[in-house]
Amino acid sequence: MAVVCPECDNPIVIDTDEVEEGETLQCDECGLDLEIVSVDPLELAPVDVTGYDDEDATPIVDEEDE
């Protein structure tokens, strides 16, 4: 089974017998990380870089070390 990369339309062939929900793979063409959100039907979603979630990800930028 094949899906197309949402980023570059590169066809990505996936053997649904060998993957599981929650697995991630990478597009060979553009390097986009894709997470398998569903196997049947096969559905992929781009893995967002952390930052959209409301996590404790406060960057420390106010550190003065001079």
Contacts of 24 (CB under 8 A, 6+ apart): 33, 34, 35, 36, 47
User: Judged by CB under 5 A, how many residues of this single chain contact Zn ion?
Assistant: 8
Backbone angles phi and psi of 26, in degrees to 5: -125, 135
Q: Which of 1, 4, 7, 11 binds Zn ion (CB under 5 A)?
A: 7
Closer to Zn ion by Cβ: residue 49 or 61: 49
Q: Is residue 5 near Zn ion by the rule CB under 5 A?
A: yes
- Token pair in block for residue 24: 């991630």
Q: Which residues make up the interface to Zn ion (CB under 5 A)?
A: 5, 7-8, 10, 27, 29-30, 32
